[in-house]
Structure 1
C-alpha cells in the first residue's frame, strides 16, 4: 500500500519536498531521538518560512506521533513493520555506527501526485532506501531545484548492522539529473585513502557532472564547486554542543536561499550561518529563526567578513 497523507502541507504543492527515511537515533540512556535528514531539513525549511513536506515510511507507533512531532509539515507516510534505527558508539574519539533496523524502500507511488511539482525537491536517503530511478520522477526544469544529499547511498552494513562506507556506484548516472549535490567531504575520505586532497579531486570530478556541488567540512566551513572550480566559505563561530543534523540543516538552508536569491555563493554563506546555530543545541532545538540568522549575518558584515 502506498504512503498516505497524514498531515497536509501548508501549501499545495509544498515549496519544499524532502524524501527519505525518518529515523530513531538511540541515545546513550537507551531512549530515542527523532532523526534523519527529512526531519532536520523540513524543520529548517519551516523555520525559514517556507511550507515543507516529507515522504517517508516508519513503524505504526512512530507514524501516529509524527503530526505532533512535526507540526505544520506535510506528511506522506507508509506504515512499515519497523523504523530505521541507528546507534552511534564512540571509541577513542571515533564514531562507530550501527543500523539496528531498516524500514522499507520508498517507491514512486509513495509520493502524492500533487507534491511532485514542488519547486524544491531534496532526495535524502539514509540507508539505500531510494533507488537511482527515483531521480527521474522530477525532471529538471525552469523554476525547480532538484537536489540530493547522498550519505545514504554511501553506506552499507554487515550482518551485525555495523555501517561501512561503500562507493556510490550510480553517481555518474544520477549527478547529471540533479541541480545540486550537498555532502560532507568526510563522506568521501574512505574512498580517498584518508586524503582531503584526493577527496577534493573526487568532488572536482563530480562537479563536472552537476551544476552545483557543495562540500561541507564542519568547523572549516564549506566549499562550492562549479565546473571543477572551487570557492571556499569560512564557517561562523559557534559554541558546539551537538553536531547531529548540522549537515542536513545546512543543505536545507542552502536550497531555500538559492531558490529565493538565485545566488549559489551567497547561499553557501547563508547556510554556514544557519548551520552554526544548529550545533549550539541538542538535536533540532538549535534550528534558528530568520531574525537570529539575520543578526549573525549582520555581525559578520559589520566585521568586514564575506
Structure 2
C-alpha cells in the first residue's frame, strides 16, 4: 500500500450492538472506506477506538490503511428499526479525534471525508485541515446533528456550526430525513434549508431513500430517481452513497453522473446485510447497464 491513501475518512468507527448482544462494525468511515476500496481506490481511516477493537480492525477492514488514536472506550450504538424508523442509543463514546493523530502525508489524499457520528470532529478540527488545489474535502454531517441523553437515547439537534463549516467544504452529503425534525416534518421547509445551505458550498447532495437524491448547485436543485431494490438492510446506505459519489466525482468531475452512480451503489448495498452488500465497481456498472 502507498503511504498516502487516495480516499481518507476521518471519524469514529463504532460497535453496533445487535439483538443477541453481539456487535458488528459500523460508522460512516468504515462503510465509506470499504466502498472506496471496492471501487478501486486506496483507502485509509483515521479513527479513535479502545485497545480490543483496535486489534480487530485490520481483519474487519481488509485492505484499508488504519491509524487509530487510542481511547479507553469505543463509540457504541444500538440501532432499532421498526416500520422504516430508527431509534438509536449511544452506550459509550470514544474520545474526540485530534488533527495531530492524522499522519501529515495522509492529509495529501485526493478525497478527504469527514464522517462524524457523535460530535467527535469540532469546528477547529475542520478549520485547521490543510488544503491543496484539486483536493475534495467533503462531510456527512449526521454526527453534528445528534445529541444524547443520560440514558443514551439519541435525539436530533440543530447543526449550530453549519455556516462556519460549510464554506470550508467542497461537498456536503446528507439524508433528507436528517433535517425533517428541524422542519416539523415539513418536506418543503427541509428543502428550503437545503437550498440555503447550498449557497455556502459548491455541491450539496441530499439523499431521500426510495425517492432518490437531489443535487444542489448554487441553490438550484436537480432530482435523480432511485434504483429499484429488494431492501434487506439499509444500514450504511448513505455512507456507501457518499463514498461512491466522491469517487466518481474524483474520476470524472461530473456531479450529475456521480449522483446516478452513487444511487446505484447505494441500491446494491442494501440488498445484503451490513457491509456484505458494498459493491465492486464491476457490480455497479453492470447494474447501471441493466
Which TM bucket (shorter chain)?
A: over 0.9
Q: What is the alpha-carbon distance in structure 1 between the residues aligned to residue 222 and residue 81 of structure 2?
A: 33
Question: Of 173, 177, 185, which residue of structure 2 is paired with 1:186?
Answer: 177
Q: Is the CA contact 2:110–2:136 (under 8 Å) kept in the aligned structure 1? A: yes
The answer as to 2:101 corresponding to 1:110 is yes
Name the counterpart of 1:49: 40
Question: Of 78, 81, 84, which residue of structure 1 is paired with 2:75?
Answer: 84
CA deviation after TM superposition for structure 1 residue 141, in Å:
4.0
Over the residues paired in the alignment, what is the CA RMSD in angstroms? 1.1
Gap change, CA 1:292 and 1:89, over 3 Å in 2: closer
Q: What is the alpha-carbon distance in structure 2 between the residues aligned to residue 284 and residue 136 of structure 1?
A: 32
Q: What is the alpha-carbon distance in structure 2 between the residues aligned to residue 252 and residue 189 of structure 1?
A: 23
The answer as to 2:160 corresponding to 1:169 is yes
The answer as to 2:103 corresponding to 1:119 is no
The answer as to 2:125 corresponding to 1:134 is yes
CA deviation after TM superposition for structure 1 residue 140, in Å:
4.4
Bigger mean CA deviation after superposition, 136-145 or 245-254: 136-145
CA deviation after TM superposition for structure 1 residue 92, in Å:
6.6
Name the counterpart of 2:260: 269
Q: Is the CA contact 1:138–1:146 (under 8 Å) kept in the aligned structure 2? A: no
Name the counterpart of 2:245: 254
Local SS of the residue matching 2:246: helix
Gap change, CA 1:91 and 1:239, over 3 Å in 2: closer
Name the counterpart of 1:7: none
CA deviation after TM superposition for structure 1 residue 89, in Å:
3.0
Q: What is the alpha-carbon distance in structure 2 between the residues aligned to residue 240 and residue 91 of structure 1?
A: 14
Name the counterpart of 1:302: none
Name the counterpart of 2:85: 94
Question: Of 210, 220, 234, which residue of structure 2 is paired with 1:219?
Answer: 210
CA deviation after TM superposition for structure 1 residue 79, in Å:
1.8
Q: Is the CA contact 2:107–2:130 (under 8 Å) kept in the aligned structure 1? A: no
The answer as to 2:239 corresponding to 1:239 is no
Which ranges of structure 1 fall in alignment gaps of 5 or more residues? 1-9, 300-306
Q: What is the alpha-carbon distance in structure 2 between the residues aligned to residue 182 and residue 12 of structure 1?
A: 27
Q: Over residues 47-82 of structure 1, what are the superposed CA-to-partner deviations in whole Å (9 max), with x where a residue is unaligned?
A: 000000000011111100111111221100012111
Q: How does 1:52-63 map to 2 (within 5 A)?
A: 52-63=43-54
Q: Over residues 225-275 of structure 1, what are the superposed CA-to-partner deviations in whole Å (9 max), with x where a residue is unaligned?
A: 011100000011111000000000000000000000000000000000000
Q: What is the alpha-carbon distance in structure 2 between the residues aligned to residue 14 and residue 207 of structure 1?
A: 28
The answer as to 2:186 corresponding to 1:195 is yes
The answer as to 2:135 corresponding to 1:144 is yes
Name the counterpart of 1:6: none
Gap change, CA 1:140 and 1:211, over 3 Å in 2: farther
Q: What is the alpha-carbon distance in structure 1 between the residues aligned to residue 162 and residue 200 of structure 2?
A: 9
The TM-score with structure 2 as length reference comes to 0.98
Gap change, CA 1:219 and 1:67, over 3 Å in 2: same
The TM-score with structure 1 as length reference comes to 0.93
Q: Is the CA contact 2:31–2:239 (under 8 Å) kept in the aligned structure 1? A: yes
